[in-house]
Amino acid sequence: MLAQGSTSVFQLGVPYLLPQLRAALGGSLSSAAVLVACPSIGLMLTLILWGAVADRYGERLTMTVGLLASGAILAVTGFASGVVPLGAGLVLAGAAGASVNAASGRAVLGWFGVRERGLAMGVRQTALPIGTGVAALILPPAATAWGYQGALWLPAGICFAVGVFVLVVVRDPARPPAGTEARTPSPYRRPELWRVHFASFLLVVPQFAVASFAFLFLTDARHWSSGSAGVLLAASQAAGAAMRLVAGRWSDRVTDRLGPMRSLAVVNAAVVGLLALAAASRLSPAVLVAAAVITVSGNGLAFTATAELAGRQWSGRAMGTQNTVQNVAAAVTPPALGVLITAAGYGPGFGVAALFALAASAVVPRTAGRLTWGLYQVGPPDPAPVEQPVPG
C-alpha cells in the first residue's frame, strides 16, 4: 500500500501543478495537459515487462528497484526546464514506477484467500486516492514556493524512503518449488479477461476527466484559491479510498467481483453526467466531490477479477496488461479532453466522460466471476466449511 501510494503522488499528482505549468508554457492548457499524461505513457510502455519480472523474480525485488529508480529520475527531473526535458523525465519516472503497479497487486493477491481478496485489494487500491490526496496537499504549496520543478523533489524523496522500507519489510508470497507446477494455458483464450480490460479502459476516462481537471475547474471556473481547492480534493480522495474498501468488502460478501463492478459503472455514469449538467451552477463543487469519490471506487474490483481470471502463473502479466490498458486511456484522456474543454467548456467535457462509464456497464462480463474463483491459490486457502450434525 505504501509502495503504491508513493508512486501515485507523482503519477497522479501532476494535475496539481497545472497552474504553474500552464503559466510556464504561455497559457496553453492543451500543452500543459500533455505533461499530465506523461507518467501514464511511461507506465503503459513497461507494465507488462515489469509483470513478467515479478512473475519470475518476486514482488519485493521488483518494487524496490522500481521505487529507487523513480526517486532518482524525479530528483534529476527537478533540475530540468522546458516541455521536452520535463516530459521525458516524467515518462521515465512513470516507466520505473510501473514496477509497483505490476508487483504490489500480485503480492496482495498471493497472501489472501478468495473470500478476503476483495477487501485486501481494496486496501491496496486505497493507496491511489490517498497518494493523490497527499499530492493535493503538498504539491500546490510546494509549487507556489519553489516552482513546479522544486515540487518534484518531494515525491522523489518519498519514493526513495519507501523503496528502502519495501526492501526491509515486504516478503514475497510462497511459491511452489521450481519444476513442480504444470504449465497452465493462457487465460486470454477466453473472452472474459479481455472484457474486463476493455471495461476498465472505458472507466478510466471519467476517472481521469475528474482527476485531471477538478483542480483547474475549481481555481479557474469557481475562482477558489489553490490551497482551498487542494484541501477539498484531498478530502474527496480520502472518501474515495473508503469507497474502495466498501466495494471490496461488498464483493467478498456476495462472492462476485463483476456484479458490483457493473453496478458501480452505472452509478459512475449517473454522477459524472450530473456533474456535466451542474458544471455551470453553484452545486458543481459538491457534485465534483461525489464524482471524485465514485469514479475511483471500482478499480480494485477490476484488478481482483483480473488476477482470479488469470491464475497464479499469469497474474503478473495479466495485471500488467490491465494496468497498460488503463494507462492508455489515462494517457489519451487529459490531452483529448483538454482540447474539448478549451473549445466547448467543462460541461461537454464531463458529459463525454459519462458516456464512457455507461458503455463500461454493458461491457463487464456477467458470469465469469463466479465460474473462475479459486484459480489464484498462492496464499493460504479458505478454511473448509464444517458440516453440522443432523438432529436425530
Q: What is the reported pTM? A: 0.71
Q: State how many domains the chain has.
A: 1
Question: CA-to-CA distance for 189 and 72, rounded, in angstroms?
Answer: 40
Give residue 45's pLDDT: 87
CB 59 within 8 A of CB 166: no
Give residue 108's pLDDT: 81
Give residue 182's pLDDT: 60
Question: CA-to-CA distance for 185 and 131, rounded, in angstroms?
Answer: 36
Give residue 317's pLDDT: 79
Question: CA-to-CA distance for 299 and 312, rounded, in angstroms?
Answer: 20
Give residue 176's pLDDT: 62
Q: Is residue 381 part of a domain?
A: no
Give residue 281's pLDDT: 76
Low-confidence ranges of the chain (pLDDT < 70): 25-30, 175-182, 312, 367-392
Give residue 380's pLDDT: 38
Give residue 178's pLDDT: 55
Q: Is residue 273 part of a domain?
A: yes
> Where do the DSSP E strands lie in the chain?
none
Give residue 180's pLDDT: 53
Residue 362 sits in a domain whose CATH number is 1.20.1250.20
Give residue 255's pLDDT: 81
Q: Is residue 178 part of a domain?
A: no
Give residue 118's pLDDT: 82
Backbone dihedral region of 312: left (phi > 0), alpha (psi from -120 to 50 degrees) or beta? alpha
Backbone dihedral region of 373: left (phi > 0), alpha (psi from -120 to 50 degrees) or beta? beta
Give residue 262's pLDDT: 93
Q: Is residue 220 part of a domain?
A: yes
Question: CA-to-CA distance for 288 and 270, rounded, in angstroms?
Answer: 12
DSSP category for residue 311: -
Boundaries of domain holding 92: 2-171+187-371
Q: Is residue 229 part of a domain?
A: yes
DSSP category for residue 219: I
3-state percent helix, strand, coil for the chain, nearest multiple of 5: 80, 0, 20
Q: Is residue 362 part of a domain?
A: yes
Single-letter residue type at 250: W
Give residue 179's pLDDT: 55
Q: Is residue 384 part of a domain?
A: no
Q: Is residue 134 part of a domain?
A: yes
Residues contacting 145, CB < 8 A, separation 6+: none
